[in-house]
Chains A and B, each alone.
Chain A
Amino acid sequence: EDQVTQSPEALRLQEGESSSLNCSYTVSGLRGLFWYRQDPGKGPEFLFTLYSAGEEKEKERLKATLTKKESFLHITAPKPEDSATYLCAVQGEYGNKLVFGAGTILRVKS
């Protein structure tokens, strides 16, 4: 059974204080690992897709990396507007459904 574990559950940062969010996964044949951002009361917003170990993608202050067992979402010099829940999901080789982790709630204070 595909599983995703995210840590930490919650993270509080000062503005400008860089950090990383972790997503550990087990999946039978990884098709893709996805990162989403979700604001309260809204649907998830797509950030990145990673397909193979060693791959990296960047978008503004965010950078996602992937190994065979985990993915990291690095946040460089965060701003208060980066506050949100960050969700990680995997898609295995059978079917196209996503299995989500519980998410990391990020709060950035000015």
Chain B
Amino acid sequence: GAVVSQHPSRVICKSGTSVKIECRSLDFQATTMFWYRQFPKQSLMLMATSNEGSKATYEQGVEKDKFLINHASLTLSTLTVTSAHPEDSSFYICSAGQGRDYEQYFGPGTRLTVT
């Protein structure tokens, strides 16, 4: 159980375009989902916390107008990188929480390359 999927796994886009990444909890309902980014050989940095039916909470330094998060249902959250630039190239990973134990289960990640 506790499977989280992401789509796409890899995406290449041109500078100035927008990219949408989907995160789905496949076998459980997640009231809270989290979005992280990870640069090469670095750890995960939390970008925002997404709660179903309400606005996302962004970490300090993360531009909410650039990284749009929507959590429309208990199994789906989306991250849209707007007007992407090469410095947005990174590995984006989502996670979903389940149950009392506060455990988070991670998706396989999305490699974004902005050219």
Contacts and interface: CB of A to CB of B under 8 A. Distances in A.
Interface of A: 31-32, 34, 36, 41-46, 49, 87, 91, 95-103
B32 interface: yes
Given A96-B97, A97-B49, A100-B43, A41 B102 contact: no
Nearest to A44: B106
Interface of B: 2, 4, 6, 32, 34, 42-46, 49, 91, 93, 95, 97, 101-109, 111
Given A87-B43, A102-B42, A43 B103 contact: no
13 contacts: A41-B111, A43-B93, A43-B109, A45-B106, A46-B103, A91-B102, A96-B32, A96-B49, A96-B102, A97-B46, A98-B44, A98-B104, A99-B46
A44 B102 contact: no
A41 B109 contact: yes
B24 to A, nearest CB: 13
Nearest to A4: B43
A42 B108 contact: yes
Given A43-B107, A43-B108, A96-B32, 8 more contacts: A34-B103, A43-B109, A46-B106, A87-B43, A91-B102, A97-B46, A99-B46, A100-B45
